[in-house]
Amino acid sequence: MSKDQYATALKTALTEIKNVCPDIKSSFIFTKDGAIVAGDSEASDTIKKALHSFQNIREKADAIGGIHALSVNGSEGNMQISQVNEMYLATATFKNADTKYLQTITGVIVPTILKLLKDIIHAPTPPKAASPQQLTVEKITGFFVGDSAEVDQKILGEWSKFFEGKTINTVEIQAPNGKTTRCKVKAIDDERLEGKGLIRIPEKRLQMLKVREEEVVRVKPITP
C-alpha cells in the first residue's frame, strides 16, 4: 500500500466521521514529528498553524511524560488532540458538540483503521502466481533429449516479465487426468514450431503423466 492510498483511507475515515458528527469543524491526523498524514485539504494553512502550536508544547512536555492528549475549551468551540497509536488525531468542534460521543466515535474508528492499515502494510505479500498456459503436447524422443520440456521463447519472455525479469527454469505441467510433474524448461529451438502453442515434453515425462501427443496440458512457471 502506497503512502497516497494510506492517506486516502484515513481521509475517507475522517470524512465519514464528519458525516456522522456534523459538529466537527476540522479534523486531521499527523505524526509525532508534525507531518500531516490526512486532513481537510481546504484548511491546510490552518492545520500548519495548529501543528506549530502543538510542537511548541511537545518540545517541553517531557516533564509530564510527553503529550498524550490536549484539550482546548473555548467559549465558541473545543479542540481535542489525542494520541492514537503512533500518531495524533486533532478535531476542532463547535460549541455545543457532544464531545463524549465524538470521542467515542473517533476513539474506536480511527485506531481501528490505523491498526488495519498497519496490518495491511505489514502483511506478507501473497506468492506470485502466473496464469497457467494451455499448450498442446508434442513428444520429444531420442537418446540425447534430456529431461527439459520446451515452450515458445515468447511464453518464457512473458513469464519472465511477470517475475520482474527473472529467468524461468522450471515449469509445472498438469495433465487432463490431474497428474502433475515439474521439470526444467527451455525455449523451442526450431523456428517452424514456434508460435503454435506447443509444449515439447520428453517421452519419459509423458509416460509419467499418462499423456499422449496432441493432448492439451496446463503449464505454469515456478517462481524463480
Between residues 98 and 203, which has the closer beta carbon with respect to another protein?
A: 98
Q: Which stretch binds another protein (CB under 8 A): 4-12, 34-42, 76-84, 112-120?
A: 76-84
Does residue number 50 form part of the binding site for another protein (CB under 8 A)?
yes
Rounded to whole angstroms, the Cα distance separating 36 from 27 reads: 11
Of residues 79 and 156, the one with the C-beta less far from another protein: 79
Q: How far apart are the first and last CA of the chain?
A: 24
Binding mask 133-172 for another protein (x = CB under 8 A): ----------------------------------------
Q: 3-state secondary structure string, 162-219?
A: HCCCCCCCEEEEECCCCCEEEEEEEECCCHHHCCCCEEEEEHHHHHHHCCCCCCEEEE
151 phi/psi in degrees, rounded to 5 = -135, 175
Is 65 one of the binding residues for another protein (CB under 8 A)?
yes
- The single residue among 41, 73, 104, 207 that binds another protein, judged by CB under 8 A, is 73
Binding to another protein by residue 85, rule CB under 8 A?
Answer: no
Q: How many CB atoms sit inside 10 A of residue 216's CB? A: 14
Among 3, 4, 19, 63, binds another protein (CB under 8 A): 63
How many alpha carbons fall within 13 Å on the CB side of residue 52? Answer: 6
Give the interface with another protein as residue ranges (CB under 8 A): 25-26, 46, 49-50, 52-54, 56-57, 60-79, 92, 95
